[in-house]
């Protein structure tokens, strides 16, 4: 299991549900998880946390900077560990797999555009929805 210090240093007291959730993100196969994903995976591995707690903990982790929240299509929020970097996402329409990318040219053009319109960027989201061109979509879920 995870070390309590990780949470303490984030200003959160080290509780069992929080450690379990953090652990899941560190060890999960998928980087991007919804509240429901987290809840079900914890149940599946025998750990039982309340769904409300999962929602609360995810929001707290987001505020503490441990997780980043994304709003892909489909309505539900998905979270991932905050690696400190910024990246955008390309979502495979066949299997839902999420690929990450970072393009400095895109980022700097955004700055140009926003500045030109008299805005100071606070945040942005770029989501590309696409089909995998490989013969068989390699990202089976």
Partner DNA sequence: ATGCAAATGATAATCGTTCTTATTTGCATT
Partner DNA sequence: AATGCAAATAAGAACGATTATCATTTGCAT
88 binds, among DNA, Mn ion, Zn ion, none (CB under 5 to 8 A by kind): Zn ion
Contacts for 115-118: CB closer than 8 Å, 24+ residues apart: none
| CA 1, chain centre distance (Å) | 21
CB-based contacts of 11, cutoff 8 Å, min separation 6: 64
66 binds, among a second copy, Mn ion, DNA, none (CB under 5 to 8 A by kind): none
Phi-psi region of 60 (alpha: psi -120 to 50; beta: other; left: phi over 0): alpha
Single residue of 13, 125, 136, 141 touching a second copy by CB under 8 A: 125
Single residue of 26, 27, 31, 48 touching DNA by CB under 7 A: 48
Binders in 35-64 for Mn ion, by CB under 5 A: none
Comparison of 31 and 102: residue with beta carbon closer to DNA = 31
129 binds, among DNA, a second copy, Zn ion, none (CB under 5 to 8 A by kind): a second copy
Single residue of 26, 36, 48, 100 touching Mn ion by CB under 5 A: 100
d(CA 89, CA 107): 13
| Smallest separation (angstroms) from Zn ion to the CB of 88 | 4
Counting Cβ atoms within 10 Å, is residue 44 exposed (0-12), middle (13-18) or buried (19+)? exposed
Give me 36's structure tokens: 């429901």
Q: Which residues bind DNA (CB under 7 A)?
A: 4, 8, 12-18, 34-36, 48-53, 55-57, 59, 75-77
């Amino acid at each position: 299991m995870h070390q309590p210090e990780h949470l303490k240093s984030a200003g959160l007291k080290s509780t069992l549900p929080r450690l379990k959730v953090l652990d899941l993100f560190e060890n999960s196969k998928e980087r991007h998880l919804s509240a429901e994903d987290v809840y079900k995976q914890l149940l599946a591995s025998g750990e039982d946390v309340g769904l409300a707690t999962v929602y609360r903990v995810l929001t707290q982790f987001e505020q503490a900077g441990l997780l980043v929240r994304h709003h892909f299509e489909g309505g539900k929020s998905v979270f991932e560990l905050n690696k400190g970097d910024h990246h955008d996402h390309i979502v495979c329409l066949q299997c839902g797999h999420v690929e990450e990318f970072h393009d400095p040219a895109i980022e700097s053009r955004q700055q140009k555009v926003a500045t030109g319109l008299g805005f100071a960027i606070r945040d942005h989201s770029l989501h590309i929805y696409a089909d995998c061109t490989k013969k068989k979509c390699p990202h089976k879920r």
